[in-house]
Chain A
Amino acid sequence: MQYDVIVIGSGVTGAMTAYHLSRYQLRVAVLDKNLEPAAETSSANSGIVHAGYDAKPGSMKALLNVRGNAMMGDVCAKLDVPFKRIGSLVVAFSEDEAKTVQELYESGVKNGVPDMKVLNAEETYAKEPGLQPGVTCALYAPSAGIVCPYELTTAALEVACVNGAEYLRQTEVTAIEKIDGGYRLTDAKGTTYETRVVVNAAGLYADAVAAMAGDTSFTIRPRKGEYILFEKSMGKAVSHVVFQTPAAGSKGVLVSPTVDGNLYIGPNANYVEDKRDTATTYEGMNEIKTCSAKSVGGLDMRLAITNFAGLRATPSTGDFILNEPAPGFFNAAGIESPGLSAAPAVGEYVVELIRKSGAVSLVEKDGWTASREPVIRFREMSTAERADLVARDSRYGRIICRCETVTEQEIRDAIRRPAGARSVDGVKRRTRSGMGKCQGGFCGPRVVDILAEELGCDPTEITKFGGASYMLTGKTR
């Protein structure tokens, strides 16, 4: 056998599973069809670490959300990922909604959510003065937080790789065959991989991957959520994650700061047919604008910097699917919301499933490192820290991204690190170069140059995110 465990998918679930697996004496590989980790659902979501009151008591979602939330602080500290426990508010504007808030509180208690409180109107406005008039009450959950979902994914994958896991990009599994003592996987190019254990963390495509192994017990339906992201000058419009009270047929959209200091509104929720349909729509953007104004008004749309959409991997079962449908084949499937919040716990749970099955024996390795080599973030440093850094290494003295104050060396670091960036979006998600107001207008051409130099190729070979997403079409005359 080539591998002990192959994880299919490098979204947050796959990366977190690989991270937990990497502490054992196992040959682990992470296979993903995309060029970069967190390329789909894990890069386009709310970035919220939910408290865990809305999942049905007794469900896997409830169990792993609350557990994942509790783990998140420690995991993010180890992985050097920004995480802020800013708390969430579910705001009610009517007596009916107040009733729902009370129900959410009760289900939160059953789920073991710590320190929740139902606030009256006055207490709610004290916490969030920018709310629209007419608040009756709100559910306050101080354990809710915000995290950068792609940074969490990238960091977990990086540490897994530092601990010996292999990351095989652009490797799309097209067939899974049961062989003696394990499985043989074939990718789109015809290469085969033999492994004792398979973890299916294929997100939107987890049903197709499960079916390759003979498990047709569930399907995944893509459910689109659209967002509008605002510049940092709007980042203080609210200081908590502000939810609307879910009503029949609508969950309401939220208004929240991001961990990097921007503000966003969204998401809506609409089933789509195509698992690649992440287009934003005119109607959808109007829907979230109108809907968000019910809780927070007066958001200046001229300060929007981008809009995007992500697809939730909604399972036919209504709950996370974490099981072993065939010996040595494990599903970590249907991980829709609160999948990001639960991710550290999902990874841990999958490892426990593997341990219990005995498919491979889990022996801890010596010298496992749980922590990521800290990332230099020039933008977050004080003047004294910056002076010290540039004095030690002058390469951090050249700013490439003006909006987010990202240095050339940070970009080179992001490319060179284990499981490093290979595309413009990869650089953007690891360094924030291009994430600011001008959306790569200034830094874009320079990032293309740096990527080409680091990867030893021509700028015309550089893509936005792999495949045919070429940035340039050729040379000038």
Chain B
Amino acid sequence: MEKRSVVVIGGGPAGLAAAIAAKENGCDDVLILERDSNVGGILQQCIHAGFGLHIFGEELTGPEYASRFHEQVDALGIEYKCDTMVLDISADRVVTAVNTKDGVIQIEAGAIVLAMGCRERSRGAVGIGGTRPAGIYTAGTAQRFVNIEGYMPGKKIVILGSGDIGLIMARRMTLEGAEVKMVLEVMPYSGGLKRNIVQCLDDFGIPLRLSHTVVEVRGRERVEGVVVAQVDEKRQPIPETFEYVPCDTLLLSVGLIPENELSAAADIDINRVTNGPFVDQSMMTHTPGIFACGNVVHVHDLVDFVTIESRLAGRGAAQFALGQRKESGHTLDVKPGFGVRYVVPSTIDPSALHYDEKFLFRVGDVYRNMILEVKNDGEVVYSKRVMQAAPGEMESVEITKQLAEKLTGSTVEIGLRPADAK
């Protein structure tokens, strides 16, 4: 059986960054397995600008951002196989994959990095009733049709969900001459970045209806319209507000789910909140030698943060494969406190830190004027003022040497408290 020190599953931004970091940390035989025909992942179809501000200090398009890493992969001589689908991974790190050139291949990996990304939630998951005609697409599928294939999925569009892809597609479809009638959001706030609401909706006069949803699709063969409704505080549609909106297309941007079918097959522990694996400070899952990074762990809003996180996973994987992994035996559980939905990582070994790690987390609601606190066994060891936090924007706390030294107990908790309360 072929042996590799590190096998990276997925050649999107997460996989590319992880592979580069693994190589830079001393692994010479890193292999990337990518199911698409090219590396770059979903960035290939994200032709809008806005990527790279944190990493490169400039605004790049998705393909530009991806190509910077692609070039680095080539320069470092990292091997990748495209059109290659991983069929199975085992807990003892045997990767089974298939492509047309090599057939079915099995590789024994010193370490594995899971970087499969995420998928979009579909209509069924949000329970929209009505007919099932052509013309209902997830925003990402529509984006592929428009930006890669060069075809329009529709002309008169209603978009459900104000996640970033939905917002980006509202602008994109408008620029292509389609009429975007409205963007609906079931929550009382948008799930997307503020800058995208301004640049993609406000600048084009596209209305955003908060606390609204689609209750029914109409049309037999092609979508003819949708019934939209306002929802109450329990997110239930209010019948008096039902309104028929004629359109030929419904685009869905109703959430992303980490794609963990392979992880499940290897019995990797999955966090029910993020739908991604639990990971430690080096992005290692509970299964030794299997690491994970990017949207397969938790859905990010900025690719820059995916890159940063994935470098940790690549370094961790290399160290594991080379027998250089440090473990002190003292680990703390990292738990979400008030107002926080989840924290990555979920465990931390303070003595194994490189001090470039971060606590990444999302809040569960819109909060204003709060204090963010990091507690070691209930005692506040770090705090900072948070003027505003929303579920659509990921928050972070850098794990400095100073902070790490205070993590002496068994539990770290990250939570909010109102700034004016004690």
Question: Do these two chains interact?
Answer: yes
Q: Which residues of A contact B (CB under 8 A)?
A: 228-229, 233, 276, 278-282, 284-285, 301-308, 383, 386-387, 390-391, 394-395, 397-399, 402-403, 405, 424, 437-442, 444-445, 449, 459-460, 463-477
B120 adjacent to A441 (CB under 8 Å)? yes
Q: Which residues of B (301-338) have their CB < 8 Å from a CB of A? A: none
A469 to B224, CA, bound (A): 11
Residue of A nearest to B156 (CB): A473
In the complex where A302-B125, A304-B127, A390-B100 touch, is A441 in contact with B150 (Cβ < 8 A)?
no
A439 adjacent to B221 (CB under 8 Å)? no
For the complex formed, measure the closest distance between the CB of A134 and the CB atoms of chain B, giving whole angstroms. 28
A463 to B131, CA, bound (A): 16
A476 adjacent to B151 (CB under 8 Å)? yes
B221 adjacent to A468 (CB under 8 Å)? yes
The binding surface of chain B is classed by DSSP as: mixed
Q: Which residues of B contact A460 (CB under 8 A)?
A: 151
A129 to B150, CA, bound (A): 52
Contact of A475 among B131, B140, B150, B154 (CB under 8 A): B150
A228 to B98, CA, bound (A): 33
A394 adjacent to B122 (CB under 8 Å)? no
A474 adjacent to B152 (CB under 8 Å)? yes
Of listed B119, B132, B218, B221, residue having the most chain A CB within 10 A: B132
Q: Which residues of A contact B216 (CB under 8 A)?
A: 279, 281-282
B149 adjacent to A449 (CB under 8 Å)? yes
A474 adjacent to B124 (CB under 8 Å)? no
For the complex formed, measure the closest distance between the CB of A364 and the CB atoms of chain B, giving whole angstroms. 42
Q: Which of B83-91, B277-285, B290-298 contacts A (4 or more CB under 8 A)?
A: B83-91
B409 interface hit (Cβ, 8 Å): no
B417 interface hit (Cβ, 8 Å): no
Q: Which residues of B contact A301 (CB under 8 A)?
A: 127
Q: Which residues of B contact A284 (CB under 8 A)?
A: 129
B141 adjacent to A279 (CB under 8 Å)? no
Residue of A nearest to B178 (CB): A473
Of listed A229, A305, A399, A459, residue having the most chain B CB within 10 A: A399
Contact of A473 among B148, B154, B220 (CB under 8 A): B154
Q: Which residues of B contact A308 (CB under 8 A)?
A: 132
How many residues belonging to B are interface residues under a CB distance threshold of 8 Å? 58
Residue of A nearest to B88 (CB): A383
Of listed A282, A440, A463, A467, residue having the most chain B CB within 10 A: A282
B422 interface hit (Cβ, 8 Å): no
Q: Which residues of A contact B148 (CB under 8 A)?
A: 445
In the complex where A387-B103, A397-B99 touch, is A304 in contact with B125 (Cβ < 8 A)?
yes
B134 interface hit (Cβ, 8 Å): yes
For the complex formed, measure the closest distance between the CB of A50 and the CB atoms of chain B, giving whole angstroms. 26
Of listed A304, A395, A438, residue having the most chain B CB within 10 A: A438
A445 adjacent to B127 (CB under 8 Å)? no
B131 adjacent to A473 (CB under 8 Å)? no
Contact of A279 among B35, B130, B149, B261 (CB under 8 A): B130
In the complex where A280-B130, A399-B85, A476-B146 touch, is A438 in contact with B122 (Cβ < 8 A)?
yes
A439 to B126, CA, bound (A): 13
For the complex formed, measure the closest distance between the CB of A170 and the CB atoms of chain B, giving whole angstroms. 13
Q: Which residues of A contact B87 (CB under 8 A)?
A: 383, 386, 405
B237 interface hit (Cβ, 8 Å): yes
For the complex formed, measure the closest distance between the CB of B196 and the CB atoms of chain A, giving whole angstroms. 21
B48 interface hit (Cβ, 8 Å): no
B103 adjacent to A459 (CB under 8 Å)? no
B145 adjacent to A472 (CB under 8 Å)? yes
Residue of A nearest to B105 (CB): A387
Of listed B85, B129, B134, residue having the most chain A CB within 10 A: B134
A307 to B122, CA, bound (A): 11
In the complex where A383-B104, A471-B153, A476-B146 touch, is A439 in contact with B122 (Cβ < 8 A)?
yes
Q: Which residues of A contact B153 (CB under 8 A)?
A: 471-473
A473 adjacent to B152 (CB under 8 Å)? yes
B176 interface hit (Cβ, 8 Å): yes
B132 adjacent to A398 (CB under 8 Å)? no
Contact code string B73-93 (vs A, CB < 8 Å = 1, else 0): 000000000010101100000
For the complex formed, measure the closest distance between the CB of B141 and the CB atoms of chain A, giving whole angstroms. 5
A438 adjacent to B119 (CB under 8 Å)? yes
B234 interface hit (Cβ, 8 Å): no
Q: Can you list 21 A-B contacts with CB-CB less than 8 angstroms, sorted by A residue number? A: A278-B132, A282-B215, A282-B237, A285-B129, A304-B125, A305-B122, A305-B124, A386-B98, A387-B104, A391-B104, A397-B103, A399-B85, A403-B261, A438-B122, A439-B123, A441-B120, A445-B141, A445-B149, A459-B149, A472-B153, A476-B151
In the complex where A472-B153, A475-B151 touch, is A437 in contact with B122 (Cβ < 8 A)?
yes
A465 to B134, CA, bound (A): 8
B177 interface hit (Cβ, 8 Å): yes
B144 interface hit (Cβ, 8 Å): yes
Q: Which residues of B contact A477 (CB under 8 A)?
A: 176-177
Contact of A438 among B96, B120, B146, B176 (CB under 8 A): B120
Q: Which residues of B contact A470 (CB under 8 A)?
A: 134, 222
A306 adjacent to B130 (CB under 8 Å)? no
In the complex where A397-B103, A473-B155 touch, is A442 in contact with B119 (Cβ < 8 A)?
yes
For the complex formed, measure the closest distance between the CB of A311 and the CB atoms of chain B, giving whole angstroms. 13
Contact of A469 among B130, B221, B249 (CB under 8 A): B221
Of listed B130, B151, B248, residue having the most chain A CB within 10 A: B151
Q: Which residues of B (100-139) have their CB < 8 Å from a CB of A? A: 100-104, 106, 119-120, 122-125, 127, 129-134, 137-138
A437 to B256, CA, bound (A): 12
B137 adjacent to A444 (CB under 8 Å)? yes
Q: Which residues of A contact B100 (CB under 8 A)?
A: 390, 394-395, 397-398
A303 to B99, CA, bound (A): 30
A125 to B378, CA, bound (A): 45
Of listed B96, B127, B216, residue having the most chain A CB within 10 A: B127
In the complex where A437-B122, A474-B152, A476-B176 touch, is A307 in contact with B129 (Cβ < 8 A)?
yes
Contact of B134 among A282, A403, A464, A476 (CB under 8 A): A464
Q: Which residues of A contact B264 (CB under 8 A)?
A: 233
Q: Which residues of B contact A471 (CB under 8 A)?
A: 134, 153
3 shortest A-B CB distances, which residue pairs? Answer: A306-B124, A387-B104, A464-B134
Residue of B nearest to A474 (CB): B152
A228 to B127, CA, bound (A): 9
B145 adjacent to A473 (CB under 8 Å)? no
**Additional pairs, 4, CB under 8 Å, beyond known A282-B129, A398-B83, A437-B119:** A306-B124, A383-B106, A397-B102, A397-B104
A358 to B106, CA, bound (A): 62
A382 to B257, CA, bound (A): 28
For the complex formed, measure the closest distance between the CB of B297 and the CB atoms of chain A, giving whole angstroms. 18
For the complex formed, measure the closest distance between the CB of B172 and the CB atoms of chain A, giving whole angstroms. 10
Residue of B nearest to A226 (CB): B129
Q: Which residues of B contact A473 (CB under 8 A)?
A: 152-155, 248-249
A228 to B122, CA, bound (A): 13
